[in-house]
Chains A and B, each alone.
Chain A
């Protein structure tokens, strides 16, 4: 404080206070000094100050941008390489099938499907996670035994870059190329349960399509991030699918690419929270950005629950059992109950843990009842692990086999063991 003689200000301090540009010289080319307060000089000074600010802030912006998103953004016109490019898979596959009639792509009158699921190679964060993974795979074993579908349970991370939910992409590609006899790869999350043991996917409905997911066209048009669900979907074994996988994988590689892709997805999809890129959002983004290229072969199915959001279903099971019967697959008797957000293998759920666990137990028992019924048993209640007899043993068990066997009614419907087309 106190009076300061401007002449006594040290040169260092003067330059620190003054702006770090050429205009802070005590004189400039147009003759305005720092101390000139005439209108013209004031305007010039203001202009030069503004110019300085602009340059300063512009450099800061560029520096900040460089720091956040890195040099050279990954472009979505390039795809991540899941393997060497294959361009004639349809022809190669057809040749193979012709040469190997003992491995046909149609069995029992329907296209051969392979159910693919899996979980990480190490134990879950808590014991209860592994226990439910075990129950859920038992559930899938039951459904697939009844419907004559093979299962691949994967516990290996094939590509360290494509970890987490992305791990399914290299796995699916690998299985397609190794098993030309498989017509459809059916990916199913480890947290999804079959709750309609009798429902058979109407595969012939998708003869003209290559990708079937549960979803809604109107939500898709709005680019909602939950417009479709990649927790349970069918992908045909063909060239189109290989190409889709390659392009889809572009947002997957972990680290900078996945993080940056996550921001793009959050910015472009409706309702998406901020987190790294996931396969579901990436697929929605990809399909909606390149509709013409892909959508004629994509079927958004909502006439039955190829994926059914659990929270809307689990409290209705008792009413469902009272009013309806298995085989419907839709809101009357949901085909699949999918526990999105419960994440039992992790440490934290998106919902209350107690609600998740109780609901998973109920859904499991609801499905298990449909299997046990054939053997004359059912659970004492949907929350109970114990079972009770609902049909006495007899000396002529085969009459019940004829009446109740789910498998026979399913396989019989699709034509039994007719010779492959």
Chain B
């Protein structure tokens, strides 16, 4: 019939065109099917999924409802932000601002807690009744609790939290090797003693709650371990209760405000320590007391700038003015870097790696590199941010290399996050000894019970 309208030739042309386009469509269809079978078609799925869906659909009535696929409770919270993008989320929405605590009575002198006078006896009694929790893990190895912490709020500096994270990882590594426990504090126990003073109520609380602890080791969050092999010489302090890095002359003679450092110190769990904490605290309560105390400290101590009272200056002042009472039991250690000022150490790491080895703890290979003044969590530090952060990365890697070498790796450079292999895997892993002997170090060994039978 078409031939009447268009002519035979035309019809044949049309027929040919239809045949050819059939070819095209057939090939296209085959291609699509094949592609779907191999790489899937996004939400349109794959043939396997079709099969599963068909199977599910056929069997769904018989199958019991899965009790374990627990769904979210419906939260008809239309005001809540439904965005799933962290970058655009305003974090202040979830930082609840709490009502302040009741103001303390200004007439009442500040106290860390009710006076305890028989702590040594109480503690001795407890230790006797609890032989499973001795205060010495081995002869000459006291039970130590490393205490550090940071604010429960995110840092003001956006990278601050990342450096806090690296810092605690560093401490976890050192403490694992040396059999030391860690307490990471993120709670402000006493609103009056905020800031650098917050450690005092915390330390007192921990000493009284953990009688099994012989030494409490306070360490600032901006201090890092850079000698993983160095073990603190505990026997050296058997007659002392308070160990800080510092110099006798600078504290007692010069009254220099940096004659000692309270960023990393050891405090024995005993009555003497409770007493010194009580005497140390009065300059701490924030507000008028702390401001006035700051003025006294600036006046009395050498080189101290003007600012509110800080715990370190207060300790210098306390020791310098009451040496007779406290000095005997205080050890100002300068033979190794219980605290090491970062400014004089970080540029020398390569030189140290070339000339020395871990285990020395001193200027040749510092135990601790302490980034005083960098304040990576805050907005403003005393030094250029770039230098601080770059050096903190280097110090972290310097310490981390000593851990990684245990497992046969090292950072590609002190500035690099990436690691490379320095020792091949072997089929006899137990014959491998790491260079520093940190894999199964003596300070981690447990006392072998003489009565044990293997």
Contact = CB atoms under 8 A, between A and B. Distances in A.
A127 B155 contact: yes
Contacts of B52: 270
Nearest to B95: A385
Interface string B182-194: 1110111100000
Most buried by A among B19, B81, B150, B169: B169
A226 B68 CA distance: 10
A156 interface: yes
Contact of B30 (A60, A309, A401): A60
Contacts of A376: 205
Interface in A400-420: 400-401, 405, 408, 411-412, 416-417, 419-420
A60 B30 CA distance: 9
Interface in B198-247: 205-206, 208-211
Interface string B72-107: 110100001111111101010111101001000000
B211 A398 contact: yes
A119 B9 contact: no
Contacts of B210: 401
A419 B451 contact: yes
Nearest to B417: A121
B38 A156 contact: no
B116 interface: yes
Nearest to B51: A267
A119 B68 CA distance: 29
Contact of B430 (A92, A216, A311, A400): A92
A218 B450 CA distance: 50
B89 A158 contact: no
A378 B283 CA distance: 27
Contact of B417 (A103, A122, A152): A122
Interface string B42-55: 10001011001000
A390 interface: no
A8 interface: no
B418 A401 contact: no
A384 B98 contact: yes
A130 B160 CA distance: 9
A412 B133 CA distance: 10
A398 B30 contact: no
A53 B24 CA distance: 9
Contacts of A384: 96, 98
B182 A141 contact: yes
B27 A386 contact: no
A311 B72 CA distance: 5
B406 interface: yes
Contact of B86 (A6, A128, A134, A416): A128
Given A385-B96, A395-B114, A411-B132, A57 B30 contact: yes
A352 B20 contact: no
B454 interface: yes
A123 B182 contact: no
A353 B83 contact: yes
Nearest to B426: A84
Interface stretch (A247-255, A285-293, A355-363): A355-363
B1 interface: no
Contact of A64 (B26, B35, B161, B445): B35
A216 B154 CA distance: 38
B49 A267 contact: yes
A219 B162 contact: no
Interface stretch (A173-181, A193-201, A204-212): A173-181
A387 interface: yes
Given A57-B26, A86-B429, A395-B114, A155 B169 contact: yes
B60 interface: no
B404 interface: yes
Contact of B85 (A180, A353, A361): A353
Contact of B209 (A107, A134, A352, A397): A397
A95 to B, nearest CB: 8
A105 to B, nearest CB: 11
Nearest to B431: A92
Contacts of A408: 130, 133
A64 B114 CA distance: 81
Given A56-B23, A354-B93, A354-B94, 15 more contacts: A49-B23, A65-B38, A101-B452, A102-B445, A121-B418, A128-B91, A134-B150, A141-B183, A155-B166, A180-B430, A270-B52, A274-B42, A375-B205, A377-B187, A385-B153
Interface of A: 3-4, 6, 17, 19, 49, 53, 56-57, 60-61, 64-65, 68-69, 83-86, 92-93, 96, 98, 100-104, 107, 119, 121-131, 133-135, 137-138, 141-142, 145, 150-153, 155-158, 174-175, 177-181, 216, 219, 226, 263, 266-268, 270, 274, 302, 309, 311-312, 315, 344, 346-355, 357-358, 361, 368, 372, 374-377, 380-381, 383-388, 393-398, 400-401, 405, 408, 411-412, 416-417, 419-420
Interface of B: 7, 9, 13, 16, 19-20, 23, 26-27, 30-31, 34-35, 38-40, 42, 46, 48-49, 52, 66, 68-73, 75, 80-87, 89, 91, 93-96, 98, 101, 113-116, 122-123, 125-126, 130, 132-133, 150, 152-155, 158-162, 164-166, 168-169, 172-173, 176, 181-184, 186-189, 205-206, 208-211, 400, 404, 406-409, 417-419, 425-430, 439-440, 444-449, 451-452, 454
